Amino acid sequence: AHIAISECEKRLALQGRKVVIITQNIDELHKRAGSQNIIELHGNLFTTRCTKCGDVAKNYDSPICAALKDKGAPDPEAKDAKIPVNELPRCKKGGCGGLLRPHVVWFGEGLHREVLAKTNEELEHCDLCLVVGTSSVVYPAAMYAPMVAARGVPVAEFNVESTPATHQLGYHFQGPAGETLPSALTRHESEPQDS
């Protein structure tokens, strides 16, 4: 599905048309598939933010610091990760040394104002909306497709099951997005051939 979206974005760009991916995912799979126009509502797991100076930087280190090596398996019985604070990942910008955290939105945190503004701007001007693989229960993202549909814009949902928003949208394609989306996004015979 990610590759189908990326290929559609490239094909339509050659026609002077714009595709924007607004995603709740934090995994960079859209970027890895080749998409360019991506709004990450909930941030990006491969980006850190300093809790002291606010610096945001890409970070593909795995683990992010030596103290986190072999700490990936969750232990529901653990009361504490037992990692000394001085061994946690630190900001390297200008000797700051502040604690780093993933630059993602955790439950209970609000979305970043700039991301919301950019998302609203894109949704205000879109002429087609595809909703792919979401439960449609996490807000504010859950309100976007019904909001666009209420403006009379065609909205198609691609999902393994119906969601609370399904009845408000124009079209529902049931099944895994990797199976339903590629055929929906293939070049239509009325489109010019890619050069």
Instruction: Look up tokens 């205000």; give the residue.
Output: 124
The closest alpha carbon to 157, from 41, 167, 116, belongs to 167
How many other C-beta atoms lie within 10 A of the C-beta of residue 91?
A: 20
Tell me the binding residues.
Answer: 50, 53, 91, 96
- Give the residue ranges of the annotated binding site for Zn(2+): 50, 53, 91, 96
Distances (CA, A) of 46 to 13, 35, 97, 129, 167: 27, 17, 19, 27, 36
Question: Has 103 been annotated as catalytic?
Answer: no
Q: Are strands 171-174 and 155-159 parallel, antiparallel or unpaired?
A: parallel
Percentages helix, strand, coil for the chain, rounded to the nearest 5? Answer: 30, 20, 50
Catalytic residue selected from 42, 112, 172, 188: 42
Annotated catalytic sites, by residue? 42
